[in-house]
Structure 1
Amino acid sequence: MDLESIPGVGTKTARALAELDDPERALRAGDVAALARAPGVSQGRAARIARGAIRVEHDDPGGFLATDRAREVYRAVLALLQARTVTDYAAQRLETIYPSPSRSRIEDVRAFAREAVEREPDPAVLEALEAVSPLSEPGDVRVRERCLATTDAERYTEAREAIPELSVEIVEDAQGLAELARGYSTVIALDESFAGVAIDGDVQVEPDALENPAEVVPERPLAFFARNREPIVAAIEVHRVGDLEPDCDLAALEAGLSRLEADGTVAGDDELDRLTVAVDDLDAAVGTAESVANDQLREAIREEDVTIEGADLLSLVERGAGVDSLLSRELADEYAAAVEAAREHLLEALALDTGEAEIARRVFSDEPTFPVERDDDAVSRLREELTAAKERRAGRLKRELAADLSDQREAARTLVRDALELDVELAIARFADDYGCTMPEFVWTDEEVDGDAAEEADGGDVGFRIDAGRSPLLDEPLEAIDPVDYEVSGVALLSGVNSGGKTSMLDLVASVVVLAHMGLPVPAERARLRRFDDLHYHAKTQGTLDAGAFESTVREFADLAQGGEGSLVLVDELESITEPGASAKIIAGILEALDDNGATAVFVSHLAGEIREMAAFDVTIDGIEAVGLVDGELEVNRSPVKDHLARSTPELIVEKLATEADDAMRANGGDAVSVSEPQFYDRLLEKFD
């Protein structure tokens, strides 16, 4: 796929996408998380790029949602789907599912949705999904105690690109390598010519190091798993409670993660913990050991009676001897005991092994001094020994753990991706369950059906049929919404009383058509429709339009009338754009053009009778019929009656008044004063005939 052929993808973005492992797979699958890993691409932009790629793949011209109201309906049903997601990823992923006129795109999503609606939204799975998020690359791993060394400039450039986590140094000979070894804990020589050269320090000759970066810098895979530990663990839980089939050994992956600290170090090793504590506590332990020795020696001096003969004192003074000589002569045993106490405290406090203890004993000299003081050189040597041992141990453990985990990196990605995709499926399943949805049946035209098609063409005049549909746009619980049936082939006028549900019917039709062309289940017990090229939904206009706005509206319908074949047109009370008489004529003309072009259309109008009289063809009028008035409220059969002009609300009210007047007159025995009232109402009712 040519990345720059995708709408909205320029040269810079195409280069960023090309850095992904498999950008074409991510684009085809609508994998927003993978696309968002490209430099400079946010999740929202990734969703837009995925939509563009899908349109290119399915030769989708776009523009299915041809009006503002059609786009509002799409955003409303999309919001209902997104409200049922747990993760941000799933909400963004749903943005890649849009209404399309392309049969191949519709069928792709339908296959996905059929499996999705079979999912059971287990509360345990939904809870586990809360901690799942797309994986991220650390990108900030730097290892300062190791370096790579080479004598070759090309090898130097190759090493910097392959292993950017380590410093890369150019050396001329073994002497240069030795100098590096004094500054780094470990030097990895990339040139085979250094093999067999004896150099002090940890120098490893590994000509194949660039081919096995995880062994050279195990921090790379460990940082990835440390950064993404929480979502991976959560994805493992999703697979377990959701009874999903993983592509990896969950127990092994979980065991590896349990050995990893949040900072990428290895957890659960007693020896490494001992060395870490020893390095961290060294200065404090030495200071305390000093205090132990001096406190003990001071106490010994207080308690000891020291007598010095005059000749001895003179001899000490003449030799320039000080208190150290005095200690050596008079308190040698007490000094030795104090120093030994300091050494024992240091060894015990740091839990040193035999080799380390030998170095530690040199921290306090056998030569008497007061106060007792540490040997800083010995402390430094001990620190170097402990640090080197710690790094060797940590390095070995890191390499072992990295070896266990690095092979599971792609498996972990798949594990998390599958968990996130499950959230998308569960959102669709929950939506379908909440609104009593079913997968709609498409009736393809002859041109859309090949010899192997599962569904047969059924004529080009099929529009839509909805059985027991409930509009998801109504702000009511599902059980409070009356199910409605409606079917239209060709052009129809929809009449009915005010507040009878005409606009809600258009919303239902639009919702069903939008969801069906998204490839998703629709809110009905059954739905059957043709594939439409586009949806034109015109909402009710508030107030009469001025001349300019009126002209613009007429022009819009003129364009639609020229190319309306394959369109679904829904219009709510277009007569409000101008005077009623002129409106009826204009609507009649529009319906004639749409009928000529083979479009499917439903126009809601209170002027249905007048429009039918002016139309040059036998336009169908359907009616949402009010059964009557109960306690001042309309009682309505909300499913339109075919070929029926519904009575208006004023007619029902006048009829109610006439009936009540007749009943009152009979109750009063035909009182002359009351006779004129029913006659008046009867006269008004005649005007509706």
Structure 2
Amino acid sequence: MDFEAIPGVGAKTADALTELDGSVDALETGDVATLARAPNISEGRAAAIARAAIRIRHDDPGGFLATDRARELYRDVLTLLQARAVTTYAEKRLKTLYPSATASRIEEVHEFTARAMKREPTAEIQDALAGVEPLSNPRDVTVRDRCLATTDAERYAEARKKIPELPVEVVEDARELAELARGYSTVVALDESFTGVTIEGDVRVEPDALETPAELVPERPLAFFAENRETLLAAVEVHQVAGMDAPLDIEELESALARVTTDGSVTGDDELARLTDAIADLDAGVSMAENVANDRLRDAIRERDVTIEGSDLLSLVEQGAGVDSLLSRELADEYDAAIEAAREHLIDTLSLDAGETEIARQAFPDEPSFPVEHDESVIARLREQLEAEKSRREERHKRDLAQTLADERESAEELVHAALELDVELAVSRFARDFDCVLPEFETGGNGFEIVGGRSPLLDVDFSAVEPVDYGVSGVALLSGVNSGGKTSTLDLVALIVILAQMGLPVPAESVRLGRFEELHYHGKTQGTLDAGAFESTLREFASLADGEAGRLVLVDELESITEPGASAKIIAGILEELGERDVTGVFVSHLADEIRDVADEDVAVDGIEAKGLVDGELVVERSPVKNHLARSTPELIVEKLADGGESGFYERLLEKFE
């Protein structure tokens, strides 16, 4: 794939995507998490790239949202959807959904939505999803307790490239190989010439070792599972509580993950735990053993009367003897017992085996001394043996576990991706359930829209209190009605439903039928009369609409506010006539519907949001527009109310002016 052909992708981003495994599939499916693993690509940037790639795949030119107000409503829709996601991945992934005029894209998301709406969001799934996040690339692994050895410079370069985690050494002969074995727990010789050579230590001759890196460095596959352990376990829980089929054996994965620590070490082996504890407790154990011996000797000396003849004392002094000689002569048995107690304490504390015990016993000298001190060289040798055995045993376990997990990485990635995608589906499902949504029905070759029981979730009231609206338009219509009667919110509802429908998503209504629009032009209410320059600019916008292609939806809120009412009526009438000739669907909200109809050369459809009357000073409104009906204004309703109770006839005569 030519990544630079994707809008917004430059050379650096294209190079980053080239380095990323699975980038093509990720672009095909809108997999934001995978794309975000590429260098210097954030999740937000990944969503934008995925959206652009989707447009290319569907030959979608974009530009459906043709005005600022239309784009603002799209952002509001997206916010509602994202608020129902649990994971940050789903929030970003939802940004790949956008309103399109391309039938294939709408149908693709429509099919996804149909599946999503069958999902039942539960608190258990939501709790499980809280622990799922996109997988992380493991940190670079460096292993220092084993090395590779070769006599060949080319093999050396190959080993450095294929196995960067391990030190690689060049040796000339078996003697140098033996020297390496004294410094590493394990040495892997890559040359067949070393076969049959006997060298002390863990030296393996494996000429084909570079072909199986996971066996040489089991830390490599384990690092991925260690880094993502908690996310994988959370994804397992998601599959279990949601009843989803997993791409691998969940029980086997859980068992393997239970043996991997967050730093990539292996647990679950008693002998390995014993060695680990022995190394950690060695210094403290030695110190305590010394204390045991010295405490026993002090007690023995306090409790014992030592008598030395003058000639014996003189002889000892002349021979330069000190307390050690006295101990040897007078407290030999007690000293032996103290040393034995120190040795047993060290052996028991560290739970040493037979071979380790043999070394540990040498840590305390047979020759009497006070205070008793250990032989550091012996302790160093014991530590070296413990660490070597621990490394060898841990490597064996890592190798066994790596063999279990190495082939499961792709399946593990699928496991997490499925959980994250479930969150995307559940966000759509929650949206549909929260706002009583249905899937809209597109009419092939149709024009206009028909909404039954539509309710906007964007109003500043609880959704359950929103009054449903029925409204449909084919062609161009004026929408009249009282102030605060709901004309603008009706336009918002129409725009909202069309945006959702052409995103392929469910719509908040009992039913919706519509044609597939090419563009949405929503011009919100202008604040105040425009100056000459702004007025000219606005006219140019509508001129481009009149000269454009068919199949657009145009929504305009009180265009008359741009200039004087008389001129506004004529301008709006002219625009409606032009749009009506071009198979455009349009709704123009206006208080000048009667005047516009009078100056128009063609019949103009006028619909009305009718007020039923005033109750305690508040309007009672029928929110669904009445077709082919000019709604009465608020002043007319007030005059009518006064006329009912008036006696002078003033209000009746004033009311006649509205007829």
Q: TM-score, normalised by structure 2?
A: 0.97
1:186 maps to what in 2? 186
1:166 deviation in Å? Answer: 2.0
1:179 deviation in Å? Answer: 3.0
For the residues of structure 2 that align with 1:683 and 1:160, how far apart are their CA atoms?
A: 101
The aligned amino acid for 1:94 is: L
Q: Are positions 1:625 and 2:610 aligned together?
A: yes
2:321 maps to what in 1? 321
For the residues of structure 2 that align with 1:4 and 1:630, how far apart are their CA atoms?
A: 64
- Describe the superposition over 1:413-447 as per-residue Cα deviations: whole angstroms up to 9, x where unpaired: 111111111111111111111111111111223xx
Which aligned pairs between 1:170-319 and structure 2 lie closer than 5 A?
170-319=170-319
Q: Are positions 1:687 and 2:635 aligned together?
A: no
For the residues of structure 2 that align with 1:210 and 1:262, how far apart are their CA atoms?
A: 27
For the residues of structure 2 that align with 1:25 and 1:265, how far apart are their CA atoms?
A: 33
2:433 maps to what in 1? 433
- Describe the superposition over 1:465-491 as per-residue Cα deviations: whole angstroms up to 9, x where unpaired: 111111121122232111111111111
1:593 maps to what in 2? 578
Instruction: Answer whether contact 1:543 1:577 (CA < 8 A) is retained.
Output: yes
Instruction: Answer whether contact 1:77 1:472 (CA < 8 A) is retained.
Output: no
For the residues of structure 2 that align with 1:533 and 1:193, how far apart are their CA atoms?
A: 74
Distance 1:525 1:183, change over 3 A: same
Alpha-carbon RMSD across the aligned residues, in angstroms, is 1.5
Corresponding residue SS for 1:263:
coil
5+ long unaligned stretches in structure 2: none
Q: Which deviates more from structure 2 when the two are superposed, residues 169-178 or residues 333-342?
A: 169-178
Corresponding residue SS for 1:492:
strand
Pairing partner for 2:504 from 519, 523, 526:
519
Corresponding residue SS for 1:326:
helix
1:49 maps to what in 2? 49
For the residues of structure 1 that align with 2:205 and 2:148, how far apart are their CA atoms?
A: 10
For the residues of structure 2 that align with 1:191 and 1:554, how far apart are their CA atoms?
A: 83
1:449 maps to what in 2? none
The aligned amino acid for 1:606 is: H
Pairing partner for 2:623 from 617, 638, 642:
638
1:667 maps to what in 2? none
For the residues of structure 2 that align with 1:363 and 1:37, how far apart are their CA atoms?
A: 53
1:319 deviation in Å? Answer: 3.3
Distance 1:576 1:564, change over 3 A: farther
Q: Are positions 1:485 and 2:470 aligned together?
A: yes
2:351 maps to what in 1? 351
2:150 maps to what in 1? 150
1:564 deviation in Å? Answer: 4.0
Distance 1:37 1:157, change over 3 A: farther
For the residues of structure 2 that align with 1:410 and 1:139, how far apart are their CA atoms?
A: 18
For the residues of structure 2 that align with 1:340 and 1:220, how far apart are their CA atoms?
A: 46
1:320 deviation in Å? Answer: 3.1
Pairing partner for 1:571 from 547, 556, 565:
556
1:37 deviation in Å? Answer: 0.8
- Describe the superposition over 1:221-256 as per-residue Cα deviations: whole angstroms up to 9, x where unpaired: 222212211111111111111111111111111111
Q: Which deviates more from structure 2 when the two are superposed, residues 628-637 or residues 379-388?
A: 628-637
Instruction: Answer whether contact 1:564 1:594 (CA < 8 A) is retained.
Output: no
For the residues of structure 1 that align with 2:178 and 2:66, how far apart are their CA atoms?
A: 73
Instruction: Answer whether contact 1:472 1:511 (CA < 8 A) is retained.
Output: no
Which aligned pairs between 1:40-189 and structure 2 lie closer than 5 A?
40-189=40-189
For the residues of structure 1 that align with 2:21 and 2:160, how far apart are their CA atoms?
A: 20
2:30 maps to what in 1? 30
1:369 maps to what in 2? 369
Corresponding residue SS for 1:188:
strand
Corresponding residue SS for 1:642:
coil
The aligned amino acid for 2:299 is: E
1:452 maps to what in 2? none
1:547 maps to what in 2? 532
Instruction: Answer whether contact 2:186 2:392 (CA < 8 A) is retained.
Output: no
1:49 deviation in Å? Answer: 0.7
1:665 maps to what in 2? none
1:411 deviation in Å? Answer: 1.5
Instruction: Answer whether contact 2:522 2:554 (CA < 8 A) is retained.
Output: yes
Instruction: Answer whether contact 1:323 1:370 (CA < 8 A) is retained.
Output: yes
5+ long unaligned stretches in structure 1: 446-457, 662-673
Corresponding residue SS for 2:623:
strand
1:407 deviation in Å? Answer: 2.2
Corresponding residue SS for 1:512:
helix
Corresponding residue SS for 1:641:
coil
For the residues of structure 2 that align with 1:167 and 1:684, how far apart are their CA atoms?
A: 100
Corresponding residue SS for 1:27:
helix
The aligned amino acid for 1:487 is: G
Pairing partner for 2:541 from 548, 553, 556:
556
Question: Percent identity of the aligned residues?
Answer: 69
Q: Which deviates more from structure 2 when the two are superposed, residues 264-273 or residues 54-63?
A: 264-273
2:448 maps to what in 1? 463
The aligned amino acid for 2:552 is: S
For the residues of structure 2 that align with 1:553 and 1:531, how far apart are their CA atoms?
A: 26
Instruction: Answer whether contact 1:502 1:624 (CA < 8 A) is retained.
Output: yes
Instruction: Answer whether contact 2:448 2:514 (CA < 8 A) is retained.
Output: yes
1:507 maps to what in 2? 492
